[in-house]
Amino acid sequence: MAEENPENQTLMGKLAALLGKSAEYSIAFALLAVCLIVGVAVWLLQPGAPPASNANNQLARPTQTQSSATTGADEQAALGAWKQKLEGGFDQAEKRPSRTEDRKEIQERKQQAEEPPPKPQAKAPTPVAAPDPTPVAAARVVATPAPVVALPKPQPVRTNAAIDWSSCKRPSYPETSIRKNEEGVVIIDVDLASDAHIINTRVSQSSGHERLDATTQRAIEKCRFNPATLDGRPQASTAVVRFTWALQKK
């Protein structure tokens, strides 16, 4: 049996490799097999020349050889044409996408065609306040000053000058006045400076006895005084000292 052509082996290898990729390759391979079977059948069924005589056999041999050569050349040409056609078909099949990819693309196009286009969203109109046809008179605001309420002035705090009996002795009853039973009330006015020192003393009311008045005045002049104040500030003033003379009855 004759060895196969390396080109045919390469072709068969391509057929076997592409056979499992898609149904198109399987169909092409089947068509190629059918063509090969038909070519072989035609070649085998071709009738030969009848053996009439040796001469005829001798004459017929070149014709049969020539016919065989012509048939072989035709088969080779047909196979070459099929080979080129199949290789071109394989190249186109490799370049074309598979049916699965075609189906996916068709489905995507159908979905895009079926989907309605997005509706444009209408913007909500901005409400505009209608102008009030009624004219409004501008109100004139006049600021009225608040009435001034005069607050009462605080009364000044005044304290009177007073004698400090702890700084001196009280006047003693004169013995003569005791024997004569002299009694009475003496009022002495004492003029003081702002620092409370004594400026002058005088009897503003007598007890009726000159001896008791003089004794009272001399005793008061030896005493100290607390000055009069106005809102806490020392002031010059006149202190009034009242002294009572009275005998104890047995």
pLDDT tens, residue by residue, 119-172: 656 565 566 655 555 555 545 656 677 777 777 888 889 999 999 999 999 999
| 86 in the same domain as 172 | no
Residue 168: other Cβ atoms inside 10 A: 14
Contacts 24+ apart (CB under 8 A), 158-161: 158/228, 158/229, 158/230, 158/231, 159/228, 159/229, 160/228, 160/237, 160/239, 161/190, 161/192, 161/196, 161/225, 161/226, 161/227, 161/228, 161/237, 161/238, 161/239
Q: Is residue 107 part of a domain?
A: no
Q: Is residue 189 part of a domain?
A: yes
Low-confidence ranges of the chain (pLDDT < 50): 1-3, 49-67, 138
Q: Is residue 117 part of a domain?
A: no
pTM above 0.85, yes or no: no
Q: Is residue 111 part of a domain?
A: no
CATH for 174: 3.30.2420.10
Q: What is the crossing angle of helices 54-95 and 6-19, to 10°?
A: 40
Rounded to 5°, the CA angle 32-37-41 comes to: 150
**How far is 186 from 191, CA to CA, in rounded Å?**
16
Q: Is residue 49 part of a domain?
A: no
Give me the domain span that covers residue 16: 1-44+63-97
Q: Is residue 183 part of a domain?
A: yes
At residue 152, the pLDDT reads: 80
In the listed set 52, 79, 97, which residue is the last one of a domain according to the structure? 97
| 91 in the same domain as 165 | no
At residue 94, the pLDDT reads: 52
At residue 23, the pLDDT reads: 64
H-run or E-run covering 229? strand 228-230
Q: What residues have CB less than 8 Å from 137, skipping those under 6 apart? A: none
Q: Is residue 153 part of a domain?
A: no
Tokens read off for 149: 């309420």
Q: What residues have CB less than 8 Å from 205, skipping those under 6 apart? A: 185, 186, 187
Tokens read off for 198: 């004594």
Q: Is residue 230 part of a domain?
A: yes
**How far is 144 from 220, CA to CA, in rounded Å?**
65
**How many domains would you assign to the chain?**
2
